[in-house]
Amino acid sequence: MSAVGVANVATFASAWSLEQYAGTPGFFPHEEALVRRYFPPPPARVLDLGCGAGRTSIPLRAMGYDVIAFDPSAALIGAAQRRAPELPWLRMDAAALAFGDETFDAALFSYNGLDCIFPLAARERALAEVRRVLKPDAPFVFSANSLVGRFFSGGFFYLRGHWHTLRFLMDQVGNAHLGDHYFRFRDGSGMMLLHFGSPEITRAQLTRAGFTDIEVRSPTGQTDPRQLYWHVPHAQYVARRPHVSAP
């Protein structure tokens, strides 16, 4: 893992992050809807990437799935173990999955966790690794930041949003990674370097990794490409490993 990737993971050990991630229970409604729509029925084997403190892993297990969950943050995995000691929590890097080929029936990477992976080569390795460990036709559900959608999610005349956008842009002064769509992002845990692409960019990354049947939607189910580009800050993706493996 790169030094920036290590620094990104370290932010999740802060008191703010532990309260934020360990205190949030269960699926968001749109996540549960995607799981119910696209995942095979239980007891299918599911990989929960970037599981944090178990927000999605615990309800997946409650639904009857055979869940394997991991996160690179020792602090968050510790919180997950305290919440559900019966689950096999693992520490792992998504760009180097310690599983055999075609091991899982579905995969989930929630809450824009993919965007924490740096640099771009590691992000694309992670996508290729997810495809590798999925069985043919298995779904991969995840969310990712969208830069323009973040700017205009409140509409073109949302003044408070424009102030946050201005501060966000000021944070990019001297950022040498903008060409790869990595932006400095601050929250209560500190400053991270996160990927902010667009539906087109993320779709292209999935295609290069060998995924097919790619769908993009908003948390409310919006699929209009113009709306997704301009007004959706966190797009939801569903892609599949094809029946015939990419070369």
Does the domain at residues 3-240 carry the CATH identifier 3.40.50.150?
A: yes
Report pTM: 0.93
Query: Scanning the structure block, which residue is given the tokens 């269960």?
Result: 26
pLDDT in tens, 126-150: 999 999 999 999 999 999 999 998 8
**Distance, CA of 214 to CA of 205 (rounded, Å):** 11
Of the candidates 167, 197, 195, 164, the one whose C-alpha atom is nearest the C-alpha of residue 182 is 195
Any idea which of 19-28, 119-128, 156-165, 184-193 has the lowest mean pLDDT?
A: 156-165
Tally DSSP H helices, then E strands, for the chain: 10, 9
Average pLDDT, the chain: 91
Q: What is the mean pLDDT of residues 1-16?
A: 84
**Distance, CA of 41 to CA of 2 (rounded, Å):** 37
Domain boundaries, the chain: 3-240
What is the structure's pLDDT at 49? 98
Q: What angle do helix axes 15-22 and 74-83 make, rounded to 10 degrees?
A: 40
Does the pLDDT of residue 21 top 90, yes or no?
no
Of the candidates 81, 63, 140, 56, the one whose C-alpha atom is nearest the C-alpha of residue 105 is 140
- Read off φ and ψ for residue 146, nearest 5 degrees: -125, 120
What is the structure's pLDDT at 246? 46
